[in-house]
Amino acid sequence: MATRPRIGVTGNGRRWAPSWWCTRLALWLVGAQAVRISVRHEPDEEALHALIIGGGDDIGPEQYGEASNPKIRSDPARDALEIRWIREILDEGGPVLGICRGAQLINIVLGGTLHQDVRHLRKHTRNRPGLLPTKEVVLEPDSRAREIFGATELRVNSLHHQAIKESGGTLRIVGRDRDRLCQTIESNDGKPVIGVQWHPEYLFYLPTQLRIFRWLVSQRPWRS
């Protein structure tokens, strides 16, 4: 029996972490094995094929040069851990997927910025968070994301109140919602880097959403 590719998945360290369990299932469905990484979960020395930077708490504003905000619930230890992993995989050219917070953090590492709170910017989309695919996202027709998902328009879920403001470094925004807020980023230099603002792991029952995990597994291994 062939060995499943091992995908590192970062996230919070709590025992009850629905995002981790759903990501693990999504990866299993596309033939991969999830390896948990958090401040409480140190991966073993075996090679990792790719990396997923998962969703969760807000990113500390100090990470992108803004003043601290008492309304922001951040996790400095997790920020530091994930920034280290992101820098390492970007430097080595490995495949990486950012989910929600993860997409935002990849963008910050590459010099981008965030909206600390987008709720006042929403006019055509709801502020109420939800796991069901009720939000519409339009992808650029010439984007890698369009090729991966096989569609220009997607229905996605929404659990965020922060979003990418300006893309950093080699990233470009290739997907937006009806309020023109960033929903998808990708590398514009051909490297296997992509980030989505929604949570595809909670939509694993939709073949379209499983495609992003299948794409990650299909990339050339990061470390072999």
Check: CB of residue 107 under 8 Å from CB of residue 167. yes
pLDDT at 139: 98
Q: Is 201 a known active-site residue?
A: yes
Contacts of 106 (CB under 8 A, 6+ apart): 53, 86, 90, 96, 98, 171, 185, 193, 195
- Residue 92's CB is within 10 A of a number of other CB atoms, namely 9
pLDDT at 105: 96
Contacts of 66 (CB under 8 A, 6+ apart): 113, 116
Q: Is 41 a known active-site residue?
A: no
- The CATH code of the domain at 6-218 is 3.40.50.880
pTM summary value: 0.94
pLDDT at 210: 97
Instruction: For residues 194 and 95, give the distance between their C-alpha atoms in angstroms, rounded to a whole number.
Output: 8
How many CA atoms does the CB half-sphere of 175 hold within 13 Å?
30
pLDDT at 128: 74
Helix (H, G, I), strand (E, B), or coil: what is residue 120?
helix
pLDDT at 126: 74
Q: Which residues of the chain have pLDDT under 70?
A: 1-2, 69-71, 127, 224
Q: Is 100 a known active-site residue?
A: yes
Q: Out of 100, 115, 160, 186, which one is annotated catalytic? A: 100
pLDDT at 224: 53
Instruction: For residues 153 and 150, give the distance between their C-alpha atoms in angstroms, rounded to a whole number.
Output: 9
